[in-house]
Structure formats: structure tokens, C-alpha cells
Amino acid sequence: MMFLIRMAFWLMILVLLLPTDEKQQTDVYGTAQAAVKDVSGFCGRNPGVCEKGKDAFAVFVHKAEFGAQMLMGFITERTGASATSGTVAPAATPEPAPRPAPASASWEQVPTVTTPSASLVQSSQNTLNPDDLLPTWGQPRHTGT
């Protein structure tokens, strides 16, 4: 139900923004063309800002790639089943080569994250005692007396 309400809201906004006649349509197209022309010339007017933006975007892309590699390593490690034994085998995930940070991004160092080795993760599984598996103690419930 909420989906339909949201869709109706955005459809109403879209209809309100549509031009009603040829003159308004021409004005909308002219404004859109002027905005595109202004945005396309931004780096020519502000080269320093564009360079810093490129460096910041490069750091963002590097972090996104590293995060994706970590996630894929984790998923591969958890779901990589051995075909012969039927048990989960630790996946060999190569460490990503560190990339140098952009020269102008010295204000932020890209952190190096190390993950525990597969043998450490595998040896720490299923180490709970039966007493550890019991539910924790809770206060007795009051019975409305």
C-alpha cells in the first residue's frame, strides 16, 4: 500500500513539472541547455577544484574496490566448499597490492586493513562448551498480583 502512495506522489510531482504549452516547453529546453553548458565548462573555470575532485574520487574508488575485495574474500571464505570432503575449505584470497595515494590527497591516508588468516578463523570455530550454549539468566516475570 505504501508503495502505491509513494508512486502516486512522485508521479504527481513529475506531472507538475511538465510544461503545459509550447512556450513553456521552449523555456524548459533552453534552461536545460544552459545548465548543461554551464556544468560542462566548470573545470575550465575552476581547474584546482576539478583536480581535487578527481583525487578525492580516486580515493573513493580505491576504498570501494578494497571494500569489495574484502567482501568477496569473506564470502568466498564462508561459502567455498571443497568438492571431495564436503567441508568448508579456506579460500586463498590474495592480498591486494597497496596503491599509492594521490599526491594531493595527503590529508587522508588510506588505511591498511589486515584480515585474520584462514587457519585462525577455522581453529576458533565450535569452541563453546555446553554450558556456554545455555540461555542467559533473566529476571522472573511478575504475574500481576
Residues 6 or more apart whose CB falls under 8 angstroms from that of 133 comprise none
Picking from 5, 21, 23, the residue whose alpha carbon sits closest to that of residue 13 is 5
CA distance linking residue 84 with residue 68, whole number of Å: 29
Residues 6 or more apart whose CB falls under 8 angstroms from that of 121 comprise 77, 90
Helix (H, G, I), strand (E, B) or coil at 14: helix
Q: Tell me the pLDDT of the chain (145 aa) as tens digits.
A: 789 999 999 999 998 888 788 888 888 889 989 999 988 888 899 899 989 999 999 999 999 999 999 999 999 988 874 434 444 445 555 555 555 555 544 444 444 455 555 555 555 667 778 887 787 777 777 776 6
pTM of the full predicted structure?
Answer: 0.34
CA distance linking residue 89 with residue 86, whole number of Å: 9
**pLDDT tens per residue, range 80-109:** 744 344 444 455 555 555 555 555 444 444
Is the dihedral angle over the CA atoms 132, 135, 139, 140 positive or is it negative? negative
